[in-house]
C-alpha cells in the first residue's frame, strides 16, 4: 500500500516520504510543491506566492549552505546543520537543546534519503530543491508555519546585511 502511495504521489508531481508515526510504525507523508496538475486557471496571486516562497527558501539556503558537490551547492550535515539549528533557535530567543538537534539530524537524514530516492546524484548534502522539504518538516516540528519560519529568517538575513554588509551569516 505504501509503495502505491509513493507511485501515485510521484505521478501527481508530489514528493512522498516514509515518516515515523505514533500509532503505526510508519506512514507516508505526501508534499505538493506546486499548483495541482490540470488546473489551467491558476490565480496570479497564488503563483506570485509560490515564486516568493521559492525565492525565500533559496535566500535561506544560500545563507546556510557551504558545501559543494561538483558544481552544486549543498547543505552539509556537520557545519551547516548545526549553524542552521543554532540560528533557528535564536529566532525565538531559545537555547538549542540536544533533543532538538537530534530531531533536526533525523529530518536532515530523511530529507537526504528522499533526495537520493528521487534519483538525485547529489549524496553529500541537501540541495536547494530538497531544502524546502527540510524546512517544511522543521517548521512542523517547531510548531511554526513554513511562511513564519521563512519570514523570520528573511528579516534577520536583511538585518545582518545592513549590519555587516554581507548575507553569509544567517540570523543572530
Is it the case that residue 19 has pLDDT exceeding 80? no
Q: How many helices (H) and strands (E) does the chain have?
A: 6, 4
- The residue-averaged pLDDT of 164-168 equals 55
Is it the case that residue 48 has pLDDT exceeding 70? no
pLDDT in tens, 106-128: 999 999 999 999 999 999 899 99
Q: How many CB atoms lie within 10 A of CB 145?
A: 12
- Say what the pLDDT of residue 125 is: 92
pLDDT in tens, 135-157: 999 988 888 888 888 888 888 88
3-state secondary structure of 114: helix
Amino acid at each position: 500500500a505504501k509503495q502505491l502511495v509513493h507511485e501515485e504521489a510521484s505521478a501527481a508531481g508530489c514528493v512522498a516520504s516514509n515518516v515515523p508515526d505514533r500509532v503505526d510504525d510508519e506512514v507516508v507523508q505526501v508534499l505538493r510543491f506546486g499548483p495541482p496538475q490540470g488546473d489551467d486557471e491558476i490565480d496570479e496571486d497564488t503563483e506570485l506566492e509560490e515564486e516568493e516562497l521559492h525565492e525565500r527558501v533559496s535566500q535561506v539556503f544560500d545563507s546556510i549552505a557551504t558545501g559543494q558537490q561538483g558544481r552544486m551547492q549543498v547543505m552539509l550535515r556537520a557545519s551547516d546543520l548545526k549553524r542552521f539549528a543554532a540560528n533557528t533557535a535564536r529566532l525565538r530567543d531559545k537555547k538549542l537543546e540536544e533533543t532538538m538537534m537530534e530531531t533536526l539530524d533525523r529530518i536532515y537524514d530523511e530529507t537526504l534519503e528522499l533526495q537520493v530516492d528521487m534519483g538525485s546524484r547529489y549524496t553529500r548534502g541537501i540541495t536547494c530543491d530538497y531544502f524546502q522539504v527540510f524546512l517544511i518538516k522543521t517548521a512542523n516540528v517547531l510548531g511554526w508555519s513554513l511562511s513564519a519560519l521563512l519570514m523570520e529568517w528573511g528579516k534577520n538575513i536583511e538585518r545582518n546585511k545592513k549590519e555587516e554588509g554581507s548575507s553569509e551569516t544567517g540570523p543572530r
